Amino acid sequence: MDLGLNQHQALITGAASGIGLATAKLFAQEGCSLTLWDIAPSLEATANELRAEGIEVTANHVDVSDSDQTEQAVSEMERQGQSIQHVVHCAATGSGTFGYPFTNLRPADWRHTLEINIMGMVNVAHALTPPMIRNDAGTFVFLASIAGQIGSQTDPPYSASKAANINFAQCMAKDLAPHNIRVNTVCPGMVKTPLNRSVWQAWNERTAPSERLSYEDWSEQKIKSVVPLGRWQTSEDVAAMIVFLSSERAKEVTGQTVNVDGGFVMHW
């Protein structure tokens, strides 16, 4: 299936690993050049691996929670003549604290997660919308989470921030539709990422030693109890939906929240 992405340019935040990296690779398979943003030291090594495969890659260490830094990165891209058609925002973090009940947390435990997950999205949206409006075309896909739909108690700051991502994406979709810019959200379910493992770690640290489970046992138990298809989702599964929503095949899809979750969340 031709997705109509050949010779387009895609910008992916949180691109050094996990879903962001899987998305970058899939865009490249469709003939796209890549701009990768992350704060991870491994970003340049990741970019070099992709370049070795003949992929055109620009990589920059950008902290999306810093609005000035985000604006400067976009300005630099424009000075270099880069025109971004597709933005995928994957950069996010959890609080690192097991939040059940939420009173286990202090208000101060929320700030870092909200700054990255909510204001990071806001900064990306504000910085990249003007050039897309000038081009009268483009797509945004924001990576949220099923946690933003079900009120996940394991990490309330993360869950609340992902709900905010879904809501703001819908606001953007309405505002930007007249400019032929589509905005959608993808919500992964259970994916083996560093963030998923950090949820287990936070739970494990607050659990009595006699009740603790290994990450493998904890996650498999959770998969069997909450995922109807009974299996993990992969970063590649999520990337496939992200790239599809960015493509011409989805040209009439905007303002939608699509779950890639094995049936975890079903709306009646």
Whether the Cβ atoms of residue 169 and residue 118 lie closer than 8 Å to each other: no
Classify the C-alpha dihedral 93-98-234-249 as positive or negative: negative
Specify whether 158 is catalytic: yes
CB atoms closer than 10 angstroms to residue 153: 14
SS3 of 143-180? ECCCHHHHCCCCCHHHHHHHHHHHHHHHHHHHHHHHHC
Q: Is omega for the bond preceding 156 within 30 degrees of 0, making it cis?
A: no
User: Of all residues in the chain, what percent are helix, strand and coil, respectively (each to 5)?
Assistant: 50, 15, 35
In angstroms, the CA 123 to CA 74 distance is 11
Over the Cα atoms of the chain, what is R_g?
18
Catalytic choice (110, 140, 142, 158): 158
In angstroms, the CA 95 to CA 142 distance is 19
**DSSP summary character for residue 233:** B
Q: How far is CA 96 from the centre of its chain?
A: 18
Listed residue (182, 183, 200) closest to 191, CA to CA: 200
Among all chains, which residue has been given the structure tokens 């138990």? 221
Q: How far is CA 183 from the centre of its chain?
A: 13
Active-site residue set = 158
